[in-house]
Structure 1
Amino acid sequence: MPKPTGGKLIERVAFDLKGTAQDGAGGTTTAFTEQFQCRAGYIHLRGGEGVQAARLQGQHPQVIQVRSSLLTRGVTTDWRIRDVRSGAVFNIRDITPGLDRLFIDFLCQKGVAV
């Protein structure tokens, strides 16, 4: 993966954790709540058959890179990433810390229900 510099982290994303919330009728429902926001860079995947097949199904796999921090290191695949500007939601499929420990790569997929 190419390493972005601070100038390439031009997107703003929010990390949401699934929890429970009141449904207004005395019960509870499952809902995502925002935990924190940070800058990110998107790397769109172009290659292999799996990527092409996913695109044909309306799914968009891509890597979202963020700086490594105490908050971002605590994220698991149970979370989701949301683009703050567009509202697009990405399900986290895999998490790969960078070898230099400066960045974390989140392999995500847009267009798939959780």
Structure 2
Amino acid sequence: MAPSKPTSGELQHRVAFDERTTVDDGLGNSEGVFTERFKSWAAFRSRGGSEAVVAARLEGRNLLGVYVRSTAETVQIKADWRMRDVRTGDTYAVRIVDAVSDRYWVYLEAQTGVAP
């Protein structure tokens, strides 16, 4: 059974989407920094979690299914962008973007505990 689409009442999280841009440091080098592109309301749905051993420590990773309304801005989201929860400051690496299956919603899979 396919997951149900969210209702407008489920759009309870204010998120910002950041794109990695290259900035010249003035010394002939360039560095990648995240630049905020836009903010949107989102519905979070837990997709489970996992644990990974990193540097001899166990780290938890949470996978979220995220729905945002399909707009001219949200259809531009790419899998190398970062999503931030504006209220809590939590950052998520965007892993999967589906902007074509539904004309009303953009579906994302975002993960915590990994580098964006």
Match of 2:55 in 1: none
- Greater mean deviation of Cα atoms: 79-88 or 32-41: 79-88
Match of 2:85 in 1: 83
1:92 aligns with 2:94: yes
Please give the alpha-carbon distance, in whole angstroms, between the structure 2 residues aligned to 1:22 and 1:16: 18
Match of 1:101 in 2: 103
Q: Which protein is richer in helix relative to its size?
A: 1
Instruction: Report the TM-score when normalising by structure 1.
Output: 0.82
- Report the secondary structure of 1:45's partner residue: strand
Unaligned ranges ≥5, structure 2: 53-57
* C-alpha RMSD of the superposition: 2.0
8 Å Cα contact 1:98/1:105 also seen in 2: no
Code of the residue aligned with 1:105 in structure 2: it is Y
1:14 aligns with 2:10: no
Please give the alpha-carbon distance, in whole angstroms, between the structure 2 residues aligned to 1:96 and 1:80: 15
Code of the residue aligned with 2:61 in structure 1: it is Q
Code of the residue aligned with 1:10 in structure 2: it is Q
Unaligned ranges ≥5, structure 1: none
How far is the alpha carbon of 1:98 from its aligned partner?
A: 6.6
1:59 alignment partner, one of 61, 64, 87 = 61
Instruction: Report the TM-score when normalising by structure 2.
Output: 0.81
Please give the alpha-carbon distance, in whole angstroms, between the structure 1 residues aligned to 2:99 and 2:30: 35
- Report the secondary structure of 1:59's partner residue: strand
